[in-house]
Amino acid sequence: MNRSTTRKHRTVLTLLAAVLSATAVPMVAPSTAEAAAGGEACIVLAPNDVDPDGRGPRAPMGHSGWAFRHGITNTWTYGATEGMTGKPQATFITTGSWGQMLHNFKTRNTGTRRYLKYRCLSTPSANVGKADLAASRSAHDGYDLFRNNCLTKSVDIFHAYSPWLNSTRHLPNPRIRGISLPPNYYYNNLLPKARWSPSRNL
């Protein structure tokens, strides 16, 4: 993709984001098994990553990772698609404690690729099995910077994790007219409106 095409897409993304109006979709009631134990989902942000015009005037688009809690335990599954190759090796998925998860994100990359902050949201249900399958699919379903990227994959995993998150009142749509919003815009502007936690530094 040449620079002029990238800038054109960036301009479209900015305009679309400015007029975004989240439309709620019907919530799906969680199953009895899911409702027995709540959970928690987190989005982790590398705000200086993915900068198509380099040192140009536009701000970086940002990059996001995801994490979900195993019910009410201290075990988390977390990961991210960190490359644009579309190959499974570009996605990391692992499991650990809350502290291990935060430490892994904080230390795994350097420079502009560093993860710096996160937001979380408690959920009334947690289907770890379905979320695990969605996470595995995210490593094998390709990559497209504007349609199937780190952010859209994160949201797909959260949809599998809890039907409650299928409502855009709780988890905003990451796309408008099929085009993904920049992770930075989504994290900074849409998640607060959906009452995700205040942003915390890693």
For residues 25 and 52, what is the distance between their CA atoms, to the nearest angstrom?
33
For residues 104 and 94, what is the distance between their CA atoms, to the nearest angstrom?
10
Taking only the tens place, the pLDDT of each residue in 144-181 is: 999 999 999 999 999 999 999 999 999 999 999 999 99
Segment (H or E) for 6: helix 3-18
Taking only the tens place, the pLDDT of each residue in 68-121 is: 999 999 999 999 999 888 899 999 999 999 999 999 999 999 999 999 999 999
pLDDT at 9 exceeding the cut of 50: no
pTM of the model: 0.81
Taking only the tens place, the pLDDT of each residue in 38-59 is: 999 999 999 999 877 766 667 8
User: What confidence score (pLDDT) does residue 180 get?
Assistant: 97
Q: Where are the domains of the chain?
A: 3-17+36-201
User: What confidence score (pLDDT) does residue 57 get?
Assistant: 65
pLDDT at 13 exceeding the cut of 70: no
pLDDT at 28 exceeding the cut of 60: no
Number of other CB atoms surrounding residue 82 within 10 Å: 19
Number of other CB atoms surrounding residue 147 within 10 Å: 12
Mean pLDDT value across the chain: 85
pLDDT at 18 exceeding the cut of 50: no
